Chains A and B, each alone.
Chain A
Amino acid sequence: MEAIYAFCVGILTTCGFFLVLRGRTFTVVIGLTLLSYAVNLFLFASGRLKLDGAAVLGQSVEYSDPLPQALVLTAIVIGFAMTAFVVILAMRSRADQGNDHVDGQIPEQPSARLSASDKRAG
């Protein structure tokens, strides 16, 4: 179980960081969402993974740590609010700048620039 869990968190984080480094706001927002999923799973695991362990006293023989669950709950709420904000901000930026690039302008493609200069030379 631990291996699969760790693998999932790792994949989510990698994908999240990859997407955050892209140039368009949409992929960046998706990347941030994936990152927050990864973080929530990771926080949950910080109290050790345990099967059939209740977090409330008197419910079972084995107990699991209740604090990470509280932390994850807080992190989910905050992450949700932040995602909502960044979605609205991305739409606002799309409207203000006229494109969805994070820098507000789409950089010229090197190949396009080359062909343009070729034309000028020709």
Chain B
Amino acid sequence: MSHLPILPILLPMLAAVLMLLPPLNNSISRHRFFSMGVMFLLIIASASLLLTSHEQGTQVYVLGGWQPPFGITLVADRLSTLMVLLTCVLGLGAQLYACAGDDKDGMYFHPLFMFQIMGINGAFLTGDVFNLFVFFEVLLIASYALLIHGGGKQKTKANVHYVILNLVGSSIFLFALGILYGTIGSLNIIDMATKVPLLDEHEQALAKAGGLLLFVVFALKAALLPLHFWLPKTYAAASAPVAALFAIMTKVGVYSILRVHTTIFGEDAGALASIVIPWLWPLSLLTITFGAIGVLASPNLRLTTANLVVVSAGTLMLAIAMEREAATSAALYYILHTTLVTGALFLIADLISEQRGKAEDRYVMARKMGHSKVIGIAFFMAALTVVGLPPFSGFVGKILILQSAHGLVEIMWVWPVVLIAGLACLVAISRAGTTLFWRSSGDAGAVEPLSKLKLIAVSMLLIASPLLVVFGGPITEFTDLAAAELHAGPAMLDAALNSAHEGGKQ
């Protein structure tokens, strides 16, 4: 049994612990070099994990040799390894940016960052619902601390809301797990998927309640409509690299819905098949609508970006609600694009607010911006990508999602909502660009120096967008396979579990 699947969890955990001990604990420069090195190792590990799962099929890692379904397993299939690689790439960008100075605002930025990466990777890789809860808590407690990193009134206020809301969410998560364990009798996702169709009628009602409670928790994380109010303020209050990393956090919720509600409560679940889909349709459409209104109403670039995250979460949910392979594949492509670009946009918002003095990134007239050419090009590119205009990846992603709606009755809702929301985003972001870059008075004054490291971080995240277009063919082939794997149902999963049995015995 290869130990590769656990590396994306172990590496950041060990790194974080080591950074709290001598000789690394007291020096920020040692922290920077060490965590940067670990980040590169992580990218190599997750890339090779992705290749392994692509070439050799799903990797099931049995922790401690305890046989599934009793022990805890890690399941590294195409979907989860893709998300892990995405996390590591985004993490590297955010970390590079932080190394230019934002990590000095408080203590222990890098260890916390590593714990956060560990939690996210773990949530993607785990094959056990209770373990999913544990990794959710790991990533949440790291995010609580990262959010308040640096301190200040705004951050404290946003953090109080965020923490309380998520603690209530955790309680609901545990209630749901209790119900599911009480009825289904297992917490292993693959095992649950095979047992759900065999439930009695009176147990079905309970299991349905449990499944829908889980949906509430994941919807809270993914910022689906009635549960999205926490997101804009939280993301706008966080420091730039943290906000950039948080771009993947809503995707953890999206991934969990995809995993739990396609595998356990998917099309093969008998009476409990597709229990969330009737909820997902209207909620995702409304999320896109309200997100777009939020984008139009935002008074500064950070809030605009946060609302764009809401729109993208809604779009992803819409693709999941279609419940077909092509749509899931399109959603996976869109996740790659939207995570990296919104991450980059948070960083660009910070660059802009550095250059505009007291006006920061608000849409008001201010002094002339320094380095406006470089930042302008970055902003223009990110803006084109994020609203989905050619030639960048947003366009391809949106086309894929719209195309996959062909033949559904709901297409009369999908197309207008997605396209009009896109138009609203375009209007808002072009207004943002003209105000930030062109409505200026007076001279530039003292130009703030532009850190090279920050520029590298931003361009690294932005360059992903044209790359996603250029390598669109192989990437969509990969996401097609990942979606097919996800929709294949319990039979194929059982095979993976059995192979793990044999692997464990050897």
Assess the B141–A81 pair: CB atoms within 8 A.
yes
Which residue in B130, B157, B168, B171 is a CB contact (below 8 Å) of A71? Answer: B130
Assess the A78–B137 pair: CB atoms within 8 A.
yes
Assess the A25–B182 pair: CB atoms within 8 A.
no
Assess the A36–B171 pair: CB atoms within 8 A.
yes
CB distance from A42 to the nearest CB of B (A): 5
A79-121, CB < 8 A from B: 79, 81-82, 85-86, 89-90, 92-93, 96-97, 102-104
Mask of A66-78 contacts with B, CB within 8 angstroms, 1/0: 0110010011001
Which residue in B144, B157, B164 is a CB contact (below 8 Å) of A28? Answer: B164
Of the 9-residue stretches B10-18, B51-59, B172-180, B247-255, which lies at the interface with chain A? B172-180
Interface centre among B159, B160, B170, B175 (most CB of A within 10 A): B160
C-alpha gap A103/B154 in the complex (Å)? 11
C-alpha gap A16/B168 in the complex (Å)? 10
Confirm or deny: B153 has a beta carbon within 8 angstroms of a beta carbon on chain A: yes
Mask of B135-151 contacts with A, CB within 8 angstroms, 1/0: 00100010010001001
Which chain A residue shows the least CB distance to B145? Answer: A85
B148 to chain A: which residues have CB within 8 Å?
89, 92
B134 to chain A: which residues have CB within 8 Å?
74, 78
Assess the B141–A104 pair: CB atoms within 8 A.
no
Which chain B residue shows the least CB distance to A74? Answer: B134
Assess the A102–B160 pair: CB atoms within 8 A.
yes
Assess the A39–B156 pair: CB atoms within 8 A.
no
Confirm or deny: A46 has a beta carbon within 8 angstroms of a beta carbon on chain B: yes
Assess the B157–A97 pair: CB atoms within 8 A.
yes
Given A89-B148, A89-B163; 10 other pairs, CB 8 A cutoff: A42-B174, A42-B178, A46-B179, A46-B181, A78-B134, A78-B170, A82-B137, A93-B157, A96-B151, A103-B157
- Top 8 nearest A-B pairs by Cβ distance? A46-B182, A46-B178, A39-B174, A104-B157, A96-B156, A35-B171, A43-B178, A46-B181
Confirm or deny: B167 has a beta carbon within 8 angstroms of a beta carbon on chain A: yes
A32 to chain B: which residues have CB within 8 Å?
164, 167-168, 171
Confirm or deny: B431 has a beta carbon within 8 angstroms of a beta carbon on chain A: no
| A–B pairs, 12, beta carbons within 8 Å | A28-B164, A32-B167, A32-B168, A39-B175, A42-B178, A43-B174, A43-B181, A74-B134, A78-B134, A78-B170, A81-B141, A96-B157
Assess the B141–A25 pair: CB atoms within 8 A.
no
A46 to chain B: which residues have CB within 8 Å?
177-179, 181-182
B30 to chain A: which residues have CB within 8 Å?
none
CB distance from B271 to the nearest CB of A (A): 21
Which chain B residue shows the least CB distance to A101? Answer: B160
List chain B positions with a Cβ less than 8 A from chain A: 130, 134, 137, 141, 144, 148, 151-153, 156-157, 159-161, 163-164, 167-168, 170-171, 174-175, 177-179, 181-182, 187
Which chain A residue shows the least CB distance to B180? Answer: A46
B187 to chain A: which residues have CB within 8 Å?
67
CB distance from A8 to the nearest CB of B (A): 15
Which chain B residue shows the least CB distance to A34? Answer: B171
Confirm or deny: A45 has a beta carbon within 8 angstroms of a beta carbon on chain B: yes
A38 to chain B: which residues have CB within 8 Å?
171
Classify the secondary structure of A's interface with B: helix
Q: How many residues of A contact B (CB 8 A)?
A: 35
B161 to chain A: which residues have CB within 8 Å?
102
Assess the A20–B168 pair: CB atoms within 8 A.
yes
C-alpha gap A28/B166 in the complex (Å)? 13
A25 to chain B: which residues have CB within 8 Å?
160
Which residue in A39, A45, A74, A90 is a CB contact (below 8 Å) of B171? Answer: A39
Assess the B181–A86 pair: CB atoms within 8 A.
no
Contacts A46-B181, A74-B134, A97-B156 given; indicate if A86 touches B174 (C-beta within 8 A). no
C-alpha gap A25/B168 in the complex (Å)? 14
Assess the B156–A92 pair: CB atoms within 8 A.
yes
Assess the B174–A75 pair: CB atoms within 8 A.
yes
B141 to chain A: which residues have CB within 8 Å?
81-82, 85
C-alpha gap A71/B134 in the complex (Å)? 10
B177 to chain A: which residues have CB within 8 Å?
43, 46, 71
Which residue in A36, A75, A81, A86 is a CB contact (below 8 Å) of B164? Answer: A86
Which chain A residue shows the least CB distance to B140? Answer: A82
CB distance from B67 to the nearest CB of A (A): 14
A82 to chain B: which residues have CB within 8 Å?
137, 141, 167, 170
CB distance from B354 to the nearest CB of A (A): 24
CB distance from A45 to the nearest CB of B (A): 7
C-alpha gap A78/B174 in the complex (Å)? 11
C-alpha gap A45/B181 in the complex (Å)? 10
C-alpha gap A63/B82 in the complex (Å)? 42
Contacts A36-B171, A82-B141 given; indicate if A93 touches B160 (C-beta within 8 A). yes
C-alpha gap A86/B130 in the complex (Å)? 23
B168 to chain A: which residues have CB within 8 Å?
20, 32, 35
C-alpha gap A16/B167 in the complex (Å)? 12
C-alpha gap A43/B180 in the complex (Å)? 10
Which chain A residue shows the least CB distance to B210? Answer: A46
A34-72, CB < 8 A from B: 35-36, 38-39, 42-43, 45-48, 67-68, 71
